[in-house]
């Protein structure tokens, strides 16, 4: 096409579309003032190439696992003995590791998280000095306890087909251990079996994820990270060997767990999964109460406060008892043990009718004025709601254990603070058991992407809390996203996609919990709507149940199942620390006559794009809502539209419900002069 013809086409296009300023100005009115300076760049917000690569046979373009998706598997037979006098735990582990990858593996990497509590660990070295006088302070540490911490690996043996064992060489490097194999584990289903003997002394307070609580009737042991655990080998990074320095949580393979926990006979042990030998560890009366609880909608006391100090509440004649538990298709297993436990339980009603029981274990100090008497009710209702709303709870029991840990989650069991009261305990129980869905069912990499479990869980907690007992613990009104948005997008704040260990600890609550949770609420309430969001979110959970998704897998699934290009949203809220500031600039009447309609002009002054909600109030007091799609910002910094007014307009308010994160309210309202 010749240059002259091209120029003519351009002029014709301007004439037809009204792109020139002269065409946009209503007849009989002067050209409005120039828009204010803006930081918004629509090329950046709506730019192409959001995804680094196309879908593959491993991870499809629509966000689901591809036809050749694979992940490895780790099955554990674990035995541990607890000495409640010295606090030492002696363990034996038989690991069967299945290599489903296309690569042969000549060595294995394992996690040794107890080594965080050694005085010479990397995690100890990076705890900051705070306060006056300065001292090391961090949630992600063992509070400076001086004891012989960390795993003592006695031996690692290769187990042959006929049970013969061969000693293996291994190298411990801080919180990881490399195990050298005499020959490679074959790809596509090859297996190796190891037997590991070890011991350790747990800290009294272990990064708020495990520890030991002193009570008047004995110690409460909340035990986790208690055995060498396989590092994940995946199609993204190969071996995931980021050291456990405290801030990031865990990334683990799925498998079946067989647990045998030996404790003093005065103790009651609770653990992940189903108790297989109740007749050996409970009294006949307690077994009768268990049978009642498994059919009861109301909480049934298995061992009461008055029975805690009664020797008859424990089987007689033995110094120790071994408790046998099993949990299938899980990524971890944990347990609690104490002579001080009150135990109660109730039936949970799951959509399929599958049997599962809500259980609580807590000391006398947590009974009465505190809220633990309602703990089982909280567990039951939280899990029933999320099972119906998202995906069915997959385990035979859900146990809440009171102790020194403020709040931490494991498959089928959570640890919560013994001193928690009423609404606080509802919130902690609901949050920790919400983690059943993220990351116990949807097994994201918490060490890399903490927001994919904490943020998603924070979001589903808002819905379960609104549902519980008709909103018994629901706060008044919705979150003020103008105020929250100012905090969520404060200059200098890191981005959500930062690794947890790469965040200032004070920003963890904002970037891993609140901001991603608020983002999903906006996506559900403002952008997609309940039906489309819920379908897409359920699709994500179902497609990635017991698998390992990445952020791209989540983004792609929500777009494909939700039927919406959301790359502008991921860029602004998740990938970058952009701000939102939309101003209502002016109202002009057609032919200076309010009865003929009005032209309303708004400006996007910052880098984030969002749909627009405006409330228009006329001089007679009538109000109307105008909703504009986010696409008005796809190639514009300012937007003018015609509103069908029949009388003068008193005010125009941007985002009247404060549902969007506009941090600058000063320019949100135009009022009649």
292-336 pLDDT, tens digit each: 999 999 999 999 999 999 999 999 999 999 999 999 999 999 999
Report in angstroms the alpha-carbon separations of 337 from 209, 268, 270, 415, 520. Answer: 15, 6, 6, 12, 38
> What's 237's domain CATH number?
2.60.40.1730
Shared domain check, 381 and 343: yes
pLDDT, position 141: 64
Q: Kind and range of the H or E element at 205?
A: strand 205-206
128-142, 444-458, 643-657: least confident range: 128-142
Are residues 227 and 259 in contact, defined by beta-carbon separation less than 8 angstroms? no
Q: Please report, for the domain that includes residue 657, its CATH number.
A: 2.60.40.10
Q: In what order do the strands lie in the sheet with 582-589?
A: 582-589, 598-604, 638-643
Provide the whole-model pTM.
Answer: 0.94
| Residue 84 forms part of a structural domain | yes
Are residues 277 and 332 both part of a single domain? Answer: yes
- Can you give the C-alpha Rg of the chain in angstroms? 29
Alpha-carbon distance of 49 to 592, in angstroms, equals 45
**What's the residue count for the chain?**
673
Does one domain contain both 61 and 77? no
Q: Give the pLDDT confidence score for residue 143 in this predicted structure.
A: 58
Domain end (from 443, 478, 513): 443
Residue finishing a domain among 542, 574, 606: 574
Residues whose CB falls within 8 Å of the CB of residue 475, separated by 6 or more in sequence, listed in order = none
361 and 235 in a common domain: yes
Residues 309 and 434 grouped into a single domain: yes
Q: Is the peptide bond before 143 cis (omega within 30 degrees of 0)?
A: no
What's the DSSP call for residue 432? Answer: H
pLDDT bucket at 130, cuts 50 / 70 / 90: confident
Query: Does position 422 have pLDDT exceeding 90, yes or no?
Result: no
Asked, for residue 398, whether it belongs to a domain, the answer is yes
- Examine the domain organization and report whether 519 and 590 are in the same domain: no
Q: Is the pLDDT of residue 58 over 60?
A: yes
What percent of the chain lies above the pLDDT cut of 70? 94
Domain count, the chain: 3
Residues 199 and 230 in one domain: yes
Residue 341 lies inside a defined structural domain of this protein:
yes
Q: Which helix (H) or strand (E) holds 376?
A: helix 375-389
Task: Read off the pLDDT of each residue in 4-21 and give the average, rounded to a whole number.
Answer: 35
In a domain, 655, yes or no: yes
pLDDT digits (tens, 9 = 90+) for 227-250: 999 999 999 999 999 999 878 899
- Assigned domain for 542 exists: yes
Are 540 and 607 part of one and the same domain?
Answer: no
Q: Choose among 497, 487, 610: nearest CA to 45.
A: 610
One domain, residues 559 and 537: yes
- The reply to whether 89 and 62 lie within a common domain is no
Instruction: Return the structure tokens found at 45.
Output: 């917000």
| The dihedral sign for the CA sequence 472, 478, 481, 482 | negative
- Determine, yes or no, domain membership for 170: yes
| Residue after which a domain boundary falls, among 514, 544, 574 | 574
Do 90 and 59 lie in one domain? The reply is: no
Q: Which domain holds residue 593?
A: 579-671
Say yes or no: 319 and 372 in one domain: yes
């Amino acid at each position: 096409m010749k240059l002259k013809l091209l120029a003519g086409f351009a002029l014709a296009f301007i004439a037809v579309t009204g792109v020139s300023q002269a065409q946009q100005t209503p007849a009989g009115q002067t050209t409005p003032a120039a828009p204010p300076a803006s930081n918004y760049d629509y090329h950046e917000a709506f730019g192409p190439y959001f995804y680094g690569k196309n879908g593959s046979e491993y991870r499809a373009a629509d966000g689901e696992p591809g036809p050749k998706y694979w992940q490895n598997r780790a099955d554990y037979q674990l035995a541990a003995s607890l000495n409640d006098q010295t606090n030492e735990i002696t363990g034996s582990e038989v690991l069967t590791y299945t290599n489903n990858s296309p690569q042969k593996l000549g060595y294995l990497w394992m996690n040794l998280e107890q080594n965080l509590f050694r005085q010479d660990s990397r995690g100890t070295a990076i705890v900051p000095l705070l306060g006056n006088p300065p001292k090391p302070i961090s949630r992600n540490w063992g509070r400076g306890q001086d004891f012989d911490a960390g795993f003592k690996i006695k031996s690692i043996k290769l187990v042959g087909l006929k049970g013969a064992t061969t000693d293996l060489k291994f190298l411990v490097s801080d919180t990881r251990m490399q195990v050298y194999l005499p020959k490679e584990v074959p790809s596509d289903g090859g297996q190796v079996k190891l037997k590991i003997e070890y011991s350790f002394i747990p800290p009294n307070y272990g990064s708020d994820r495990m520890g030991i609580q002193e009570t008047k009737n004995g110690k409460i042991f909340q035990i986790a990270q208690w055995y060498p655990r396989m590092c994940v080998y995946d199609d993204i990074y190969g071996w995931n060997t980021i050291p456990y320095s405290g801030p990031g949580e865990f990334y683990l393979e799925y498998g079946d767990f067989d647990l045998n926990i030996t404790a003093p006979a005065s103790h009651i042990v609770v653990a992940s999964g189903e108790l297989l030998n109740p007749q050996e560890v409970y009294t006949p009366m307690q077994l009768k109460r268990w049978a009642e609880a498994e059919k009861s909608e109301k909480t049934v006391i298995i061992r009461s406060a008055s029975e805690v100090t009664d020797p008859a509440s424990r089987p007689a004649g033995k110094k120790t008892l071994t408790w046998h538990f099993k949990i299938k298709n899980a990524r971890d297993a944990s347990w609690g043990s104490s002579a001080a436990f009150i135990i109660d339980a109730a039936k949970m009603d799951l959509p399929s009718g599958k049997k599962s029981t809500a259980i609580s274990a807590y000391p006398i100090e947590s009974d009465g004025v505190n809220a633990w008497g309602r703990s089982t009710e909280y567990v039951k209702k939280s899990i029933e709601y999320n099972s119906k709303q998202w995906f069915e709870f997959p385990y035979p029991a859900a146990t809440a254990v009171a102790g020194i840990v403020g709040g931490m989650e494991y498959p089928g069991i959570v640890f919560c603070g013994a001193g928690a009261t009423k609404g606080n305990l509802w919130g902690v129980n609901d949050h920790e058991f919400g983690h059943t869905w993220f990351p116990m069912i949807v097994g994201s990499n918490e060490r890399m992407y903490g927001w994919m479990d904490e943020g998603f869980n924070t979001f589903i907690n808002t819905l379960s809390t609104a549902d519980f007992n008709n909103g018994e613990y629901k706060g008044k009104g919705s979150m003020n996203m103008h105020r929250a948005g100012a905090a969520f997008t404060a200059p200098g704040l890191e981005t959500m996609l930062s690794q947890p260990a790469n965040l200032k600890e004070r920003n963890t609550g904002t970037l891993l919990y609140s901001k991603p949770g608020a983002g999903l609420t906006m996506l559900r309430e403002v952008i997609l709507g309940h039906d489309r969001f819920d379908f897409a979110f359920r699709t994500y959970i179902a497609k990635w149940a017991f698998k390992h998704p990445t952020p791209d897998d989540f983004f792609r699934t929500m777009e494909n199942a939700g039927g919406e290009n959301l790359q502008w949203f991921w860029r602004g809220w998740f990938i970058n620390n952009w701000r939102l500031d939309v101003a209502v600039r002016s109202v002009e009447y057609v032919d200076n006559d309010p009865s003929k309609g009005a032209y309303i002009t708004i400006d996007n002054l910052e880098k984030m794009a969002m749909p627009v909600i405006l409330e228009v109030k006329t001089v007679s007091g009538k109000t109307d809502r105008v909703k504009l799609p986010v696409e008005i910002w796809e190639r514009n910094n300012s937007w003018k539209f015609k509103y069908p007014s029949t009388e003068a307009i008193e005010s125009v308010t941007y985002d009247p419900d404060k549902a969007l994160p506009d941090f600058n309210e000063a320019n949100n309202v135009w009022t009649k002069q």
